[in-house]
Amino acid sequence: MKSRDVVIVDAIRTAFGRAGENGYFWLTRADDMAVKVIRELMRRNPAVKPEMVEENIWGATTQEGDQGLTLGRTTAILAGLPESCSGFSVDRMCAGGLTAITAAASEIALGACDIAVAGGVEHMGHHPMGATADPNPRFLAERLVSEDALVMGKTAENLHDMYPDITKEMADEYACLSQRKTAEAYRAGKIQKMIVPMSVYTREGWAVAHQDQQPRPETTMEALRDLKTPFRNQGRVTAGNSSGLNDGACGVLLMSEEKAGELGLAPKMRLVGYAFAGVRPEVMGYGPVPSTRKVFARTGLSMEQMDFVELNEAFAVQCLVFMKEFGMRIPDDERLNPLGGAIAFGHPLAASGPRLVMHLMHHFSEHPQARYGLTALCVGLGQGASAIWENLQTGDK
């Protein structure tokens, strides 16, 4: 059987809140955030009837409590999709949501289903990263991995060691730029149209979560210069040049290109190829480099052909390493994260991959001359995830 082309028709997310008691979603369940996204995707696309959705796949890093019990199945039921819609959950830490998307795409490509919803959700306020994990003691006792592998900030310090020419000042400059891009995108109204407002109950009563809590548009180099380096004495990684701890959900609506045509829907972009790769866990931020090389090799494309690159900003140093390895202009290659990144928006782990996909979809809409784009993330415990997309919003249809 010949594989089918898979397209993205739509994408939407909740606002990203701060994790913890002062965040939007402290008294909101993670599964309800995912349900809000699913319902909004269906509302925005009335040609897609609920009974047409055959698969619902969600990434979540901590699969317990309000993120447990197979989110893909439970959120389908809660969102009002029919019992015939199957669903499951995946965990690839920061790339959980992108893995959900590629898993759904693979099903569609092979004809296992025609239409799917896929996304990622993370409530880091309810489920702090690794809080209930029980790593096998052999990891450390047998030196299978470095102790640093279990502390993401230490892995970022290790990347600085690997690339001593990438200084703390460069990382701070990159972080400042990310905040500035995001502030400009908000002023232009670009981010607001990607967020579905959600009513949430807080200790002060009902409120509406309609914009991200993490961005700090007032950030300056002077302010970043004096921040503590918690992962190493006189280190280079700070809270200012790292992503935050956040709650949020993001999802996409995928289908075969034939089905989109049958329903009269205008697909936004086509999945060209994807790849995952492993690296030493103690330098996990290097992961997107080999995964991107791998997807380039498999598709025959190159960085020179990418009109946009959406790269998750777990740490500024990780992005600078990626840019250096692919010959991009440091610190500001206009193709990279035009609206800013996770240093500004926040990084609710599994939700970040779908957010990158959604941003790329909007770049393509504003730039019909663009043809290809890349979405990529580093992944805890030493992995990288990359996917290449082709613009279908060319204005000639």
* Tens digit of pLDDT at every position of the chain (397 positions): 789 999 999 999 999 999 999 999 999 999 999 999 999 999 999 999 999 999 999 999 999 999 999 999 999 999 999 999 999 999 999 999 999 999 999 999 999 999 999 999 999 999 999 899 999 999 989 999 999 999 999 999 999 999 999 999 999 999 999 999 999 999 999 999 999 999 999 999 999 999 999 999 999 999 999 999 999 999 999 999 999 999 999 999 999 999 999 999 999 999 999 999 999 999 999 999 999 999 999 999 999 999 999 999 999 999 999 999 999 999 899 999 999 999 999 999 999 999 999 999 999 999 999 999 999 999 999 999 999 999 999 875 4
* 31 falls within a domain: yes
Give the DSSP H or E segment for 354.
Answer: helix 352-366
Tokens of 91: 């965990």
* 154 falls within a domain: no
Distance, CA of 264 to CA of 252 (rounded, Å): 18
* 3-state DSSP assignment of residue 384: strand
Tokens of 98: 């992108």
CB of 247 within 8 A of CB of 16?
yes
Angstrom CA distances, 114 to 7, 41, 57, 109, 263, stand at: 11, 16, 14, 9, 12
Closest CA to 129 of 294, 242, 290, 280: 242
Bridge partners for 390 per DSSP = 270, 372
* 162 falls within a domain: no
* 115 falls within a domain: yes
Closest CA to 380 of 175, 233, 260, 243: 243
CB of 275 within 8 A of CB of 295?
yes
C-alpha dihedral (223, 225, 231, 236), degrees to nearest 10:
140
Q: At what angle do helices 316-325 and 288-299 cross, to 10 degrees?
A: 40
Q: What is the pLDDT of residues 279-318, one digit of tens each?
A: 999 999 999 999 999 999 999 999 999 999 999 999 999 9
CB of 249 within 8 A of CB of 33?
yes
> Into how many domains does the chain fold?
1
* 165 falls within a domain: no
Tell whether the torsion through CA atoms of 220, 222, 226 and 232 is positive or negative: positive
CB of 145 within 8 A of CB of 282?
yes
Angstrom CA distances, 120 to 75, 95, 105, 258, 353, stand at: 12, 9, 15, 26, 8
Task: State how beta strands 269-278 and 6-13 pair.
Answer: antiparallel
Indicate the pTM of the whole model. Answer: 0.97
Tell whether the torsion through CA atoms of 67, 69, 71 and 77 is positive or negative: negative
Which residue spans within 245-322 are E strands per DSSP? 246-256, 269-278, 306-311
Give the DSSP H or E segment for 299.
Answer: helix 288-299
Q: What is the pLDDT of residue 396?
A: 55
* 194 falls within a domain: no
Domain that holds residue 37: 6-127+244-389
Q: What is the pLDDT of residue 23?
A: 96
CB of 284 within 8 A of CB of 380?
yes
Give phi and psi for 385, each to the nearest 5: -135, 130
Bridge partners for 311 per DSSP = 376
Tokens of 346: 């926040």
> At CA 117, angle to CA 112 and CA 121, rounded to 5?
130
**Residue whose pair of structure tokens reads 């935050």 in the numeric block:** 244
Angstrom CA distances, 82 to 34, 55, 313, stand at: 16, 11, 37
* 210 falls within a domain: no
> Which residues are catalytically annotated?
94, 347, 378
Q: Which CATH number is 123's domain given?
A: 3.40.47.10
> At CA 386, angle to CA 382 and CA 391, rounded to 5?
165
> At CA 368, angle to CA 363 and CA 374, rounded to 5?
45
**Residue whose pair of structure tokens reads 């020179």 in the numeric block:** 304
* 150 falls within a domain: no
